[in-house]
Amino acid sequence: MKYPIIMMLFGVVLSNAAVAKGNAPDPMDCHHNSKAGEQHCRLAEKAPVKVNVVLETQKQLNRLGYNAGRADGIMGKKTREAIVRFQRQHHEVVDGKASIALLEKLKATVKH
């Protein structure tokens, strides 16, 4: 049981030593000449930005006066009820769920 842990730690020490000596490319540097580095840079450029959809939905609902409660990123009763109210008033399919599509509609909505 101890052997895999020791080998894992040994691997971490060796990889950190390689980085410290400059033998390994910096994963944040997209100007090095290794194929692995080039692939990493292409993937990093295409990686989507993760958004906490519930948190952003709560913020937008509150901005519009729908009282989703505290914007904490947790899908609770107040958030669900606020989503339902918004969906009904804007003639949307009423499901009470936070989604990217809902968030985009909320952002595009002007407060009256």
C-beta separation of 26 from 40 below 8 A? no
Q: Which two tokens stand for residue 62?
A: 């509150």
**Rounded to whole angstroms, how far apart are CA atoms 64 and 70?**
14
Q: Which amino acid is at 21?
A: K
Q: For the whole prediction, is pTM greater than 0.85?
A: no
Q: What is the pLDDT of residues 70-86, one digit of tens each?
A: 999 999 999 999 999 99
Q: Using CA atoms of 87, 92, 98, 100 in order, give the dihedral in degrees to the nearest 10.
A: -130
| Cβ atoms of 59 and 109 closer than 8 Å | no
Give the start-to-end residue ranges of the domains of the chain: 2-46, 53-108
Mean pLDDT score, 81-109: 97
Two tokens, residue 29: 């540097």
pLDDT value of position 92: 96
